[in-house]
Amino acid sequence: MAPYARLTGWGMWVPERVMTNQELEAMVDTSDAWIRRRTGIGERRIAGSQDTAVTMGVAAGRRALEVAALSPQDLDLIIVATVTSERIFPACASQLQHALGASRAAAFDVNAACSGFIYALVTAYQFVLSGTCRRVLVVGTEVYSRILNWQDRSTCVLFGDGAGAVVVEAGPPPTDALSFVLGSDGAGADLLYVPGLCGAAGPFNQDGHHYLTMVGAEVFKFAIAATVAATQQALAAAQLDISQVDILIPHQANYRIITAAARALEIPSERVFMNLERYGNTSAASIPMALCEAIDQGRLKKGDHLVLVGFGGGLSWGAVALHWAGGRN
């Protein structure tokens, strides 16, 4: 008999430091009103000197394991979605595995920028449904504050730091993931990227640092189209209509992107979850963090249909349609 798979644990962690829009007003030519109007963001969390993608991911992972009533030794595999590991190699996942004490688990990273958590989650389901693994920890963790040019108001106001994690576990039927969509268009690689670091001849940013670079207007248009198309395709594959979606949890990049996509999908705003006002864009951590808060706020009940959908550098996109099983029980 083929195994079944479901989400049994979830957890998030964010740094203590809060950077408000007012603080950014003193750093770059911007204002709280401008940031809120253009992005919907009011504040974001900024990593402290001791915070890394590993330490934040470990904290989120431990919370997910607690919800799932598992120990690190129960894990067969750890998949980490990140583009802000402190090292090019070894993988952030390998370091996280050691710090977590999950000595039985294999570990690897997924680099799909802000779509990374969707890619990692889909991969985890494949490992469990194939019978290869019984318990997989999926982590999205990012420290974007360390790859931002804090003099560039077009990017530094958008991002924050944080981590989110889920456990995908073999268990009783049914499988809660109904369908998924993954996509990539490398022709748009120059629209959103970080230059250099390894194996490149250059050029790098002028001062030699490796800052995030984004062609905002083009990414904005792509983001709306990708969110709409991926959601529609995942719903079609799951044989669901948008009216049957109880909650849509999109990548938390920009209020205008999310609301434009929601209008195109014809889904009411009350069924679209947003928490970007308090965290900004946390890239691969954004969707699992939003999922955790939706659960904590009672926005999900057993039997609900939800869609997780993201887009990011690559250009990349992905969506997963789920029938919420409410955890292990």
Name the residues annotated as catalytic. Answer: 114, 251, 281
Report how far Cα 163 is from the mean position of its chain's Cα atoms: 8
Phi, psi of 286 (to 5 degrees): -65, -45
- DSSP secondary structure string for all residues of 69-106: T--GGG-SEEEEE-S--SSSSS-HHHHHHHHHT-TT-E
**3-state helix, strand and coil shares in percent for the chain, rounded to the nearest 5:** 40, 25, 35
Smallest CA-to-CA distance from 165 within 121, 130, 128 is with: 121
Overall size of the chain counted in residues: 329
> HSE-up of 126 (CA within 13 Å, CB side)?
9
Q: How far apart are CA 187 and CA 220, in angstroms?
A: 16
Q: How far apart are CA 255 and CA 262, in angstroms?
A: 10
